[in-house]
Amino acid sequence: MSMIKTKIWKALQAHYEVICGQHMRDMFAGDRERFNKFSLQHNNLLLDYSKNRINEETMSLLFQLVREADLENWIKRMFNGERINHTEKRAVLHTALRNRSDQPVMLDGQDVMPEVRAELKKIRELAEAVRQRKWRGFSGQPITDVINIGIGGSSLGPEMVTDALRPYGIHDMRFHFVSNVDENHIMDTLELLKPETSLFIISSKSFTTQDTMLNASTARRWFLKNVDDESAINKHFVAVSANTRAAVEFGIAEENVFKMWDWVGGRYSLWSAIGLPIAISIGMEHFEAMLDGAYEMDQHFKTQPFEKNIPVVLALLGIWYNNFFGAQTQAVLPYDQHLSRLPAYLQQADMESNGKLVDRQGATVDYETGPVIFGEIGIAAQHAFYQLIHQGSKLIPADFLASITDFHCIKEHHRVLMSNVFAQTEALMKGKSEEDAAAELQKQGLSEKEIKELLPYKVFPGNKPTNTIMFRTLDPHTMGMLIAMYEHKIFVQGIIWNINSFDQWGVELGKQLAVKIQSELVDEQPVTAHDSSTNGLINFYKEMRPKNS
Ligand code: F6P
């Protein structure tokens, strides 16, 4: 039976009819305990979800929904290594990568932990050797530049975290992330490098992703052109992959290939050797602190009752807006500059996981699934797209993320920053009534006529939902907690929507067509095999491109 035909779904729908006419302003006015009721704290992490269009009954119905979806059992199945990624017949065990206990994690009767620990040891050895200048290039010089060549999960996570944990990073080393097959990306990067001090990490779970393979070949060619010694490759190229054979065939020494496993999805892989750039940047102790943070969130997720479970609450609020209010999007608005890549990271994590139309039984769903995730540094976005969130016609639930301390202790900066976090979420919730707007205009000395004309534009409807996620410092431990929190939120939503969050068949069609079209771009013959738009575009390109390109 479709989820939307269940009693609990219908109860939520009926409840929505009651709530949608209520304003959060009145909810706050009527309940002084609202913040205490609707906020959760785990160590130094606070989730304030009181500025949502909910009351106690909403949450109680939503908790009932998640119980009926059998979440408790699904959590066990995931952590216990069942093949819950049924379309690829794979287990989903990224949590094993940060299992900091001495408990085994069994997969088909085998404990995966010895392999996980062996790989962590290998990461430590490389990271320390590079950081301590013991890893030397072919000319005896230490590494100054680490270049990650990968895309999607093999780039976004490491890039986001390396950036986020910059204050913990090694200062006299540069990190580059090349993902786009557009030659500008690799060429612009190579321009900054010297082969003798560069370390390339070719990151690809499959080691077949065309963009990555092409960038890696170009980097290798550039290296050999400058160095002219194949044996030097060993000191300058390492790989991370579940396909060791392909990495070796590419020319990377087997001892320089770091392992990945098919039970780790690309977008959930930064905890593995895919996180090498992070480990080199922040050092292994900090990398492990990040794993500790994620493990702590795993334990919280596994053991806390749903009512006190941060990822579960976040997931349910998302469902509330997505499926009952008809919200199409979810904004991610970090106020910490170091989290500037978080929205891009979460776009893949969330949209590649829950952008699905077919349920676990193979039927097309008759309800909305994953939202469009978008976002930007909050302060920058305030001066760009917040207008639409405040006064546009769409409902856009938003997550605000902020750290309580900064690293440079410049008080004015941090106070101004935080005042904006508090002001924006308050403004989005309260809005500005007609009376208040009119009083303000009167104070400015405007005439009655002018006030009448201007008033509609000066009113803010408010009632815009936000979560505020605040933490003491953006340190490695907190970073681990935050990422794991979002991973589990995505998992819970997938369970409620009855979809497989761990495959990504939707990325295949474009890849297949691109391979076919590539061969059509070799000569100058006009093409006719496609629809008129695609034919027109290809032929325009062929006509306009420089000869011999
Ligand atoms: O095409 C999408 C995808 O498969 C993502 O899921 C993945 O993170 C990315 O491409 C890169 O894949 P790989 O690590 O195998 O190169």
Q: What is the 3-state secondary structure (H, E, C) of 60-108?
A: HHHHHHHHHCCHHHHHHHHHCCCCCECCCCECCCHHHHHCCCCCCCEEC
Q: Rounded to whole angstroms, how far apart are CA atoms 467 and 375?
A: 14
Q: Is residue 409 scored above 80 in pLDDT? A: no
pLDDT at 30 over 80: yes
Instruction: Kindly give the distance from the C-alpha atom of residue 218 to the centroid of ligand 1, in angstroms, as a whole number.
Output: 19
Please compute the mean of the pLDDT values over residues 267-285 and round it to a whole number: 98
Per-residue confidence (pLDDT) for residue 323, from 0 to 100? 98
What's the rounded mean pLDDT across residues 287-291?
Answer: 98
Pocket test for ligand 1, best of 92, 94, 154, 353 (most atoms within 8 A of CB): 154
pLDDT in tens, 225-237: 999 999 999 999 9
- CB of 266 within 6 A of ligand 1: the answer is yes
Mean pLDDT, residues 363-391 taken together: 98
| pLDDT tens sequence across 501-534 | 999 999 999 999 999 999 999 999 999 999 999 9
pLDDT above 90: residue 406: no
Count CB neighbours of 387 within 10 A.
Answer: 10
Selected catalytic residue, list 5, 7, 89, 383: 383
Report how far ligand 1's centroid is from the alpha carbon of 361 (Å): 25
Ligand 1 site, residue 47, Cβ cutoff 6 A:
no
For strand 466-471 and strand 45-48, is the pairing parallel, antiparallel, or unpaired?
Answer: antiparallel
pLDDT given at position 21: 97
Question: Is any atom of ligand 1 closer than 6 Å to the C-beta of 267?
Answer: yes
pLDDT digits (tens, 9 = 90+) for 130-161: 999 999 999 999 999 999 999 999 999 999 99
> What integer pLDDT is reported at residue 411 of this predicted model?
80
Ligand 1: does its nearest atom lie under 6 Å from the Cβ of 157? no
Give the C-alpha distances (Å, rounded to integers) separating 98 from 103, 124, 204, 389, 528.
Answer: 12, 15, 20, 37, 52
191 band by pLDDT with thresholds 50, 70 and 90 = very high
Using the 8-state DSSP alphabet, how is residue 350 labeled? I
Cα separation, 265 vs 116, in Å, equals: 15
What tokens appear for 140 in the block? 């005896």
pLDDT averaged over the chain? 97
Phi, psi of 109 (to 5 degrees): 80, 5
Taking the centre of ligand 1 as the mean of its atom positions, its distance from the CA of residue 213, in whole angstroms, is 12
User: Is 15 an active-site residue?
Assistant: no
Ligand 1 pocket, 269 CB below 6 A? no
Q: Which residue has the least CA distance to atom 5 on ligand 1?
A: 152
Q: What is the pLDDT of residues 312-347, one digit of tens each?
A: 999 999 999 999 999 999 999 999 999 999 999 999
Pair of tokens at residue 305: 């009752």
Rounded CA gap, 148 and 237, in Å? 10
Shortest-distance atom of ligand 1 to CA 504: 6
- Going from the Cα of 259 to the center of ligand 1, the distance in angstroms, rounded, reads 16
This prediction's pTM: 0.97
Q: Which candidate in 352, 414, 477, 487 is catalytic?
A: 352
Report the pLDDT value the prediction gives residue 120, as an integer from 0 to 100. Answer: 98
**Taking 80 as the threshold, does the pLDDT of residue 1 lie above it?**
no
Averaged pLDDT, 374-396: 98
Query: What percent of the chain lies above the pLDDT cut of 90?
Result: 98
Residue 548: the pLDDT is 74
Mean pLDDT to the nearest integer, 451-467: 98
pLDDT tens-digit profile of 37-88?
999 999 999 999 999 999 999 999 999 999 999 999 999 999 999 999 999 9
Q: Give the mutation target among 210, 213, 354, 504 for probing the ligand 1 site: most ligand atoms within 8 A of CB.
A: 504
Cα–Cα distance, 82 to 99 (Å, whole number): 16
Q: pLDDT band at 460, cuts 50/70/90?
A: very high
Active site residue 464: no
Q: Where are the beta strands (DSSP E) in 312-424?
A: 329-334, 372-375, 398-403
Burial class (CB in 10 A: 0-12, 13-18, 19+), 8: middle
Instruction: Identify whether 511 is a catalytic site residue.
Output: yes
Nearest CA to ligand 1 atom 1: 507
Phi–psi pair at 347, nearest 5 degrees: -60, -45
